[in-house]
Structure 1
Amino acid sequence: MDSLVEQIERGTLWQFPGGVHPPEQKSLSNQLPIARLPLPDKIVLPLKQHIGANGQLLVNKGDKILKGQPLTKPSANWSLPVHAPTSGKILDITSAPSSHPSALPELSIIIAPDGNDMWCDLTPVDDITQLTHKQLVDILHSAGIAGMGGAGFPTYIKADSHQPIEYLIVNGVECEPYITADDLLMQEHATEIVQGIEIMQQLLKPQRVLVGIEDNKPQAIAAMARACEHNSAILVRTIPTKYPSGGEKQLIRVLTSKEVPSSGIPADIGVLVQNVGTLFAVSEAVNKGKPLIERVVTVTGNTIDKPQNVWALIGSEIKHLLDSQGFTPVAEQRVIMGGPMMGFTLPTVRIPVIKTTNCILAPDNRELVEPGDEKACIRCSACADACPQTLLPQQLQWFAKSKDFEKLEEYNLFDCIECGACSYVCPSEIPLVQYYRVAKAEIREQKLDQIKAERAKERFEARKDRLEQEQQERQNRHKRGASRVTKPEKEKAKVADALERVKQKQGDKSAVQAAIARAKAKKAADGSLEPDNSEVAKERAKRKEQARSYKEQKQSTEGTPANTDDKKDAVAQAIARAKAKKAAKLAEESTPNIEPEQAQPSSENDDPRKAAVAAAIARAKAKKAAKAEENTSSIEPEQAQSSSENDDPRKAAVAAAIARAKAKKAAKAEENTSSIEPEQAQSSSENDDPRKAAVAAAIARAKAKKAAKLAEESTPNIEPEQAQSSSENDDPRKAAVAAAIARAKAKKAAKQVEENTSNVEPEQAQSSSENDDPRKAAVAAAIARAKAKKAAKQAEQNAQATNTNDDLAQPMSELKQIDNALAEQSDSEQLTPEQKRQAAIKAAVAKAKAKKQAKEQEGNDPS
């Protein structure tokens, strides 16, 4: 099978679908050569005569112009300039009716010709082979050449195609009835047309150039064939007469069998189409330097006396052309711009000729019958059969009437070439093409409005963003201005920060110290701090050593009776020294226990009330230690005296046992007092609540009173018994046993008093909680402790006097009563809290009576 190029070279032609065969009526205007008209009285030159944007004006009202002078310059893409068709003067630049079915006003330049028809300076090109591609394109652009076959597409855009072009097709078909402008142009200017073809060959470099001419133009075919003999790449092809074979897409199908896709252009399939009139303008622009200022227009119709093709200046009014050819109007005369199939009726003959005007038709009523009223569609499908684009004209008409623009685009409305074949065959005389034109205009306007709306939205959003950004920048500037501070302020801020850091560190240290103090207090309260018993163990060892030395002295005394007096004196002195050491130790133990505990809370808390309480406690403890030393010193002379009076060693042992018992009792009383007072001091230093301070003071007073009563009761009851037992029994072993029994009973009595104290304390604490002043509570506690110490001291003195007067003689029955009392006290440990409370109250009453008797004895004492 032959390739496409071989088929084309052999002259093979193809058919396109649809099409009609209307009466040609070409013989009216092709019998005479092209005529040149006289200059018009006025030229109306629209700025927009093509597809694309208007040019920018270069002239003003009143300016003198020359023929061929550019009046505008390109200002945007697809923009072409317009040139002065003749020399003259610019009368005005205003809006005038456009060459459009709507005749909407367009900005136009009104020129008054001066009759001289004087050209401006032209720059023709002698050898086009010396020009570059860009230079040739610029010449076409500056000449203002647009497609002269119908649409008015800028020629320089086609000439600068970036897609490879395989076939360049020259459209000389001119299929529409009455129109013979291209036919006469090919007959008379075939050489210039071929020159234009060769210029396009240099720009596009196609493989083949195909010149299509209908078979009803034999003279034009012969002229073009003779002009193309020297160029073998140009092939002249005669095609059957059929309307609309002159359409761009239909001609491509006939000559190359290629089909342009929907919404596509011929360049997409490697084909480019140019009209013979456009190629003639290209040749004039390059070879002669003439811009596009005139063109061939067919003036025909039965109302024209001399139908003929004429050279019409761009901007000449239609009236000037009609008058020049002998126009004789009739009733209801119509003037059509274009052919009977694709032309449109002019609303006025004052519309100018533009670059795409190829025919002015002025028929009479018999020649071109006025269409009747529109009737209902009978669905004969004749329109669909005649459509060369294989569309559905009936469906498109329905969608156009209902303004369903989406459906119109879906059914490829813009593929319609507006050939009018459907309207021509419609039996219902429906103006289908008019519906399509209106719908296309509305869709274009709608899309333009959408584009404007989108651009307005973009501008609005851009403005909004800009305003927000400016506002944000202003806020940031205000913030930066507020954040700026002077140098002195910065220095002050640095000093303040340093002071704050120092305070924070001090606060951290105080917090650490407070935490340590609280931990110590908790351990002291819980009893988790174990007492150091090393000193007690040393003292115990010393006492054992003294006991052994005493036994050895006693044995030696019994063996040598001659030295009994000296030995007794030595024993008495040793006992006195031992008691003095014990008293000193008791004072040392009580004083150190007070000072650290009181010093610590006083250093931690700066409250003057707590400091006063701590000071009072310290003074009271110091007084107690001094009194204990006095008591010890008062006991030692008595014992020394008694030991000196009694030469019997047994009596000396009894006296020593009594002295040891008294010393232990005094030490235990001091320990109870010392253990109470630090706890109160610490609790009062930690708690700032005045009620808690009052409760602590009451508890301290209660413990002090109980300790005093214990000392008063236990001392007179135990000592006589021990004295008696020691005086009755001469055996030293028995004396030692009696002393141990006495110590055990004293410990049991102290324990019972502590239990009673724990039961009584809450009541007294509750009664004392009514006093809110911590200072008064502290003073009251100190006074109570002082009174208790004084009472204890007085009781000891009375006991010593009683023991001395009775000469250590007590009946055995009293010893039994004491044993029974101790047994009852030991049994009371198993009583209920209420019973213990009642027992404590009875004990307190008994102690009060004993105090009263002691006072009476003091009053009766003659000393």
Structure 2
Amino acid sequence: MALLTFTKGGVHPPEAKEQTAGLAIEVMPVPDELELVLGQHIGAPCTPTVARRDQVQEGGLIGEVKKGLGVPLHSPVAGTIKALGNSGHPMRVSTPSVTITVDHDVPAKEYIPQDWQQLEVSELLSMVHDAGIVGIGGAGFPSHVKLSPPSSTPIDTLVLNGAECEPYITADHRQMLEHARDVVEGARIICKILGVSRCSVGIESNKPDAIQVMEQEVQAVADSQLTIEVCALQVKYPQGSEKQLIQAITGRKVPAMSLPSAVGVVVHNVSTARAIYQAVALQKPLYEKVITVAGKCIERPANLQVKLGTKISDIVNYLGGLKPGLTRIIMGGPMMGFAVSDLDIPITKTTSALLFLAEDEVDTNEPGPCIRCGWCLDACPMGLEPKEIGVFVEAGRAEDTAQFGVFDCFECGSCAFVCPMKRPLVQFVRLAKMKIKR
């Protein structure tokens, strides 16, 4: 069987998934304190609905968006509100948060599956919103909005993203292996909301066990009204990007500056599909995450299920501490994640991994001037000119980079990966976008 892929660009970084691919998801004990960041999604941050010393229950509302794009935030535990303050953040340095002191004497809440198939689409959408579901595998776009595309762009296909093309990360892989039924049920719920009868699940071929398990689950819930197929994808980064995934599976090309709905497709991550199942069938809010913890400088790599608001330091302590030689800490994957220097930063809905990298896992060479080799043009999956964007930013002309398609760039890092001079091309793009918006 031919493996599917996109046509333009792409790179093949070392996969480095062997550390955790065979490790089952492990539930981390709840620490004594959690810090819940109020802005865990694209759009307006939550306004706290609690005050200091308030008692909260597991799954209880602690923040809501009263105006603008957003979703509510829920307490992952029973406990007491310790403070309304600020927490560390990998991008914004610090950000408003709610700190909860955990009451370990209260037993964990139990959720019992309910039949969802008789519910109306409007009810399903409300449940997805009320549970605070956002895109778990990406930038955190509110899922209920993604599930309400404009009527001018009719949708005919759902694509579930199980590619997990970033090196090191295996959280989606393990969820497909261990919770395939939840993922497929989530897909069925999404298809009912969208009113579509076709779903494709894209999984890279380096996860043959996940492909097999998902195919078995799809066959087990065969439905004459809904066609679900599992598609094996070529191992190539950034295979999991929305536009590249859509082209690989459907052959359709999303126009520049357009959303996938423009070609009749909606894309959701497999972990988001599982969260949507939990929101609808269990009425369970999104307040815990499966993340991969890897790298040569963590004592014990793992795939962990953690409560939102758990600090990096608590995770490090639980896994036995750090090894000597730590060079860099990354929140997320090595291609699109962010380097952090503070272990008190808390986990959010969009955290996919924590990487503790040794010197031989990191390129620490100093960047040099552009030599016009053109490698970044060959690597860019969007067909952009990263070298020109970088040169213009260095020359103080960031505002003039729109002509090179800077806003079509989704910051995958392929250009920086292949650059022989190790130029910070992604940082140049981010700076250009920021200055143009200002």
TM-score range, shorter chain: over 0.9
Please, which of 178, 183, 192 is the counterpart of residue 193 of structure 1?
Answer: 183
The equivalent residue for 1:251 is 245
Please tell me whether Structure 1 or Structure 2 has the larger radius of gyration of its CA atoms: 1
Gaps of 5+ in 2: none
* Greater relative contact order (Cα < 8 A, sep 6+): 2
- 1:456-511, CA deviations, whole angstroms, 9 ceiling, x for partnerless residues? xxxxxxxxxxxxxxxxxxxxxxxxxxxxxxxxxxxxxxxxxxxxxxxxxxxxxxxx
Cα shift at 1:11: 7.7
- The question of whether the paired residues in 1 share the 8 Å contact of 2:389 and 2:398 is answered with no
1:110 aligns with 2:99: yes
The equivalent residue for 1:414 is 407
392-401 vs 166-175, greater mean Cα deviation? 392-401
Q: How many residues get paired?
A: 432
The equivalent residue for 1:394 is 387
- 1:90-118, CA deviations, whole angstroms, 9 ceiling, x for partnerless residues? 11001222242xx4221100111111354
1:68 aligns with 2:68: no
Please, which of 152, 156, 159 is the counterpart of residue 166 of structure 1?
Answer: 156
Please, which of 45, 58, 74 is the counterpart of residue 54 of structure 1?
Answer: 45
- The question of whether the paired residues in 1 share the 8 Å contact of 2:399 and 2:432 is answered with no
The equivalent residue for 1:203 is 193
Cα distance 1:410–1:442, how it changes in 2: closer, same or farther (>3 A)? same
Secondary structure of the residue aligned to 2:100 is strand
Structure 1 Cα separation of the partners of residues 166 and 328 of structure 2: 18
The equivalent residue for 1:443 is 436
Structure 2 Cα separation of the partners of residues 276 and 234 of structure 1: 13
- The question of whether the paired residues in 2 share the 8 Å contact of 1:14 and 1:257 is answered with no
Gaps of 5+ in 1: 1-9, 447-863
Secondary structure of the residue aligned to 1:281 is helix
The equivalent residue for 1:350 is 344
Aligned AA (2:274)? F
The equivalent residue for 2:166 is 176
Structure 2 Cα separation of the partners of residues 274 and 28 of structure 1: 26
Structure 2 Cα separation of the partners of residues 116 and 201 of structure 1: 40
Cα shift at 1:334: 1.5
Cα shift at 1:209: 0.4
- The question of whether the paired residues in 1 share the 8 Å contact of 2:32 and 2:102 is answered with yes
Secondary structure of the residue aligned to 1:165 is coil
- TM-score, normalised to structure 1, is 0.49
Cα distance 1:236–1:18, how it changes in 2: closer, same or farther (>3 A)? same
1:45 aligns with 2:39: no
- The question of whether the paired residues in 2 share the 8 Å contact of 1:13 and 1:256 is answered with no
Cα shift at 1:438: 2.2
- The question of whether the paired residues in 1 share the 8 Å contact of 2:5 and 2:239 is answered with no
Cα shift at 1:327: 2.9
Structure 1 Cα separation of the partners of residues 362 and 94 of structure 2: 30
1:152 aligns with 2:143: no
Structure 2 Cα separation of the partners of residues 263 and 15 of structure 1: 18
Normalized per residue, the structure richer in helix is: 1
The equivalent residue for 1:224 is 214
Q: Name the % identity.
A: 39
- 1:529-583, CA deviations, whole angstroms, 9 ceiling, x for partnerless residues? xxxxxxxxxxxxxxxxxxxxxxxxxxxxxxxxxxxxxxxxxxxxxxxxxxxxxxx
Cα shift at 1:129: 2.5
Structure 2 Cα separation of the partners of residues 358 and 27 of structure 1: 17
Please, which of 118, 122, 126 is the counterpart of residue 138 of structure 1?
Answer: 126
The equivalent residue for 1:339 is 333
Secondary structure of the residue aligned to 1:141 is helix
Map 1:425-574 onto structure 2 (within 5 A).
425-444=418-437, 446=438
Secondary structure of the residue aligned to 2:230 is strand
- The question of whether the paired residues in 1 share the 8 Å contact of 2:399 and 2:436 is answered with no
Structure 2 Cα separation of the partners of residues 192 and 89 of structure 1: 32
Structure 2 Cα separation of the partners of residues 121 and 55 of structure 1: 26
Structure 2 Cα separation of the partners of residues 361 and 388 of structure 1: 25
- TM-score, normalised to structure 2, is 0.95
- 1:355-408, CA deviations, whole angstroms, 9 ceiling, x for partnerless residues? 110110001112x13421111111100011000110001111122223434421
Aligned AA (1:292)? L
Secondary structure of the residue aligned to 2:199 is strand
Secondary structure of the residue aligned to 1:363 is strand
- The question of whether the paired residues in 1 share the 8 Å contact of 2:291 and 2:351 is answered with yes
Map 1:679-718 onto structure 2 (within 5 A).
none
- 1:202-233, CA deviations, whole angstroms, 9 ceiling, x for partnerless residues? 10122410000000001111111011013350
Normalized per residue, the structure richer in strand is: 2
- The question of whether the paired residues in 2 share the 8 Å contact of 1:23 and 1:177 is answered with yes
